[in-house]
Amino acid sequence: MPIPDYQSIMLPLLSLLSDLKEHPFRDMVETLSKTFQLTEEERKELLPSGQQAVFDNRVGWARTYLKKAGLIDSPKRGVNKITQRGLEVLSNKPKLINVKFLEQFPEFIEFKTTKKEVPEFEEKVVELNTQTPEETLEYSYQKIRKELARDLVNKVVNLPPSFFEKFVVELLVKMGYGGSIKDAGKAIGKTNDEGIDETIKEDKLGLDIIYIQAKRWQPRSVVGRPEIQKFVGALAGQGAKKGNIYNNIFIHKRSNGIHTKE
């Protein structure tokens, strides 16, 4: 079954604590994962940040909301226990415990009014989409990053070829090649350069040279055999033996014959 949202976890979590015992958070996560019959893959699914498992995050937020409503308590760090109010709630055999259900408790209303986890507009999105506040923030962040990346690619593709060639060199320098922009890149720019636009030193000593052919193909374009063969021919003219393709950029490493993907 799919990973349950944090509101669907609330009632099973409260029921788990009905034995009046103290339960460490990790034990609750493991027990609830079995309750929901999660697969190993679902248990390992991470938030966009890669810092926490999605299910762990949702159990954590379910626990936070129950605690703010006074249904559970934390006698010590990382440990939870049901309260008398929580027992009374379970005695009424609710079919579901969610944010709307918890709004009957003044402490929870106060928590929602004053809490600083997320802005109000994002909280409304959370309740609608059943994502935790942290998930909403992380997925929104990833969406913005993807849109920005797409806008940057479109802008770069439409800039003049001379700018794109310099852009490629600066990118490689930022990745750690060749030291500084001044001594790292060298534009060949000759009529008979046979398609090689730039060279760059692989390291600060300049022992290894990388030949570059910068092409502004549209995103996701397929580099055909004719272009590859043409570049291989250009490398041969420079005494090189191997070449490689990096996104919209042809790169060749000339040194000891090692063929690496840059």
Does residue 260 sit within a domain? Answer: no
> Distance (Å, rounded) from C-alpha 240 to C-alpha 41?
45
* pLDDT, greater one: 169 or 180: 169
Does residue 139 sit within a domain? Answer: yes
Tokens of 35: 């309750």
Does residue 112 sit within a domain? Answer: yes
Least confident span in 43-52, 53-62, 244-253: 244-253
Provide the pLDDT for residue 121: 38
Does residue 30 sit within a domain? Answer: yes
Say whether both 137 and 208 belong to one domain.
Answer: no
Q: What is the pTM of this model?
A: 0.53
Say whether both 134 and 175 belong to one domain.
Answer: no
Does residue 94 sit within a domain? Answer: yes
144, 169, 186 — which closes off a domain?
144
Beta-bridge partners for 199: 186, 211
Say whether both 168 and 108 belong to one domain.
Answer: no
Q: Is the pLDDT of residue 142 over 80?
A: no
* pLDDT, greater one: 125 or 109: 109
Provide the pLDDT for residue 143: 72
Proportion of the chain above pLDDT 90, given as a percent: 39
* pLDDT, greater one: 49 or 191: 49
Say whether both 52 and 136 belong to one domain.
Answer: yes
Backbone angles phi, psi at 218, to 5 degrees: -65, 150
Least confident span in 98-102, 144-148, 231-235, 255-259: 255-259
Say whether both 117 and 188 belong to one domain.
Answer: no
- pLDDT band with cut points at 50, 70 and 90 for residue 59: very high
144, 170, 190 — which closes off a domain?
144
Say whether both 170 and 85 belong to one domain.
Answer: no
Domain count, the chain: 2
Say whether both 177 and 140 belong to one domain.
Answer: no
Does residue 154 sit within a domain? Answer: no
Tokens of 160: 């003049």
Q: Which of these, 246, 227, 243, lies nearest to 235 by C-alpha position?
A: 243
Say whether both 140 and 97 belong to one domain.
Answer: yes
115, 144, 173 — which closes off a domain?
144
Reported residue count of the chain is 262
Beta-bridge partners for 79: 24, 76
Provide the pLDDT for residue 73: 96
Say whether both 62 and 179 belong to one domain.
Answer: no
Say whether both 132 and 206 belong to one domain.
Answer: no
Q: Which domain holds residue 36?
A: 6-144
Say whether both 181 and 138 belong to one domain.
Answer: no
Handedness of CA 118, 122, 124, 128 (dihedral sign): negative
> Distance (Å, rounded) from C-alpha 69 to C-alpha 63?
10
Please state the separation of Cα 120 from the chain's center in Å: 24
Beta-bridge partners for 250: 213, 245
Beta-bridge partners for 46: 53
Does residue 151 sit within a domain? Answer: no
Say whether both 115 and 219 belong to one domain.
Answer: no
Euclidean distance between the first and the last CA atom of the chain, given in angstroms as a whole number? 40
Does residue 28 sit within a domain? Answer: yes
> Distance (Å, rounded) from C-alpha 89 to C-alpha 181?
67
